[in-house]
């Protein structure tokens, strides 16, 4: 039986086993590169995380975290969301965009939790995705970060990078999730999601990735999509650890401008 082959970082063909080994090497490097990777939505309970994730659609985690402290103070249970005054909640959610639709989702989410789950958030993906406002991506965020159930979160960064890495050749988020699940050990799924997202925000940008200052350069088939010269690449690094990222890639951290450290990361 002939195993499927794909392009490798050096233009050769790659077996499925070879791709799995390379993916796991890259995953280990990502763990070393982004030791601070974590869920960037603030929450203290599973319900709070579910709400924050619903609100994160079409906006940034930073904006959501600005809104949720007051929201969580006023609404502490599924019953509170189910009985919420629509105009009051819309006022609170207005900064997140699409506030009317999000208000509708949260009220219906509260009602559904009361009707189907005694007010508690379920721990099974099939039950989560049946709730208003919660799709597969949101469900995996909740499972992985609130319940410690491994899950792969396929957002725009994860989709872009896993294709660039040559792990998949696919646009459909669900297909990407299952394909990556075949490459990476289940225990690592949740943290891998965070690390890939961090890498996408800080290093592997959509339009111009910092290839010459990337710790994955030697294993990435898309090396050269962005500038490979150290000085040019270092200027593209973003975030509070931009200079640490340069050091990890063997690049002089002094090439990273102060503005890059202070610059907001990609949403």
Number of other residues whose CB lies within 10 A of the CB of residue 91: 12
* Two tokens, residue 42: 């603030």
Residue 28 contacts by C-beta under 8 Å, 6 or more apart in sequence?
Answer: none
| CB 237, CB 265: distance < 8 Å | no
CA-CA distance, 37 to 20, in Å (whole number)? 22
- What's the rounded Cα separation, in Å, for the pair 61 and 266? 10
Query: Active site includes 175?
Result: no
Burial (CB count within 10 angstroms: exposed 0-12, middle 13-18, buried 19+), residue 125: middle
Q: Write the CA distances from 123 to 14, 42, 117, integer angstroms.
A: 38, 20, 10
Q: Which is the catalytic residue, given 80, 155, 188, 208?
A: 155
Does the annotation count 108 as an active-site position?
A: no
Which of 137, 235, 238, 244 does the annotation list as catalytic?
A: 137
Token pair of 87, please? 């105009």
Residue 192 CA neighbour count, 13 Å, CB half:
26
Catalytic residues: 137, 155
């Amino acid at each position: 039986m002939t195993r499927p082959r794909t392009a490798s970082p050096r233009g050769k063909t790659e077996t499925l086993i070879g791709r799995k080994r390379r993916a796991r090497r890259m995953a280990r490097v990502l763990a070393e590169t982004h030791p601070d990777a974590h869920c960037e939505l603030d929450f203290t309970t599973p319900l709070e995380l579910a709400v924050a994730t619903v609100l994160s659609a079409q906006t940034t985690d930073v904006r959501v975290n600005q809104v949720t402290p007051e929201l969580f103070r006023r609404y502490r249970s599924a019953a509170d969301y189910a009985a919420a005054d629509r105009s009051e909640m819309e006022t609170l959610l207005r900064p997140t965009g699409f506030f009317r639709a999000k208000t509708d989702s949260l009220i219906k989410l509260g009602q559904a939790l009361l009707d189907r789950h005694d007010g508690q958030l379920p721990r099974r993906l099939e039950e989560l995705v049946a709730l208003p406002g919660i799709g597969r991506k949101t469900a995996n965020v909740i499972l992985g970060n609130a319940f410690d159930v491994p899950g792969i979160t396929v957002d725009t960064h994860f989709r872009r990078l896993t294709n660039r890495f040559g792990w998949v050749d696919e646009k459909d988020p669900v297909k990407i999730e299952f394909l990556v699940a075949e490459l990476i050990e289940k225990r690592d799924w949740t943290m891998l999601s965070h690390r890939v997202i961090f890498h996408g925000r800080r290093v592997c940008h959509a339009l111009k990735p910092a290839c010459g200052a990337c710790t994955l350069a030697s294993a990435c088939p898309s090396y050269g999509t962005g500038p490979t010269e150290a000085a040019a690449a270092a200027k593209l690094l973003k975030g509070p650890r931009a200079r640490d990222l340069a050091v990890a890639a063997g690049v002089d951290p002094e090439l990273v401008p102060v503005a890059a450290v202070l610059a907001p990361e990609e949403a």
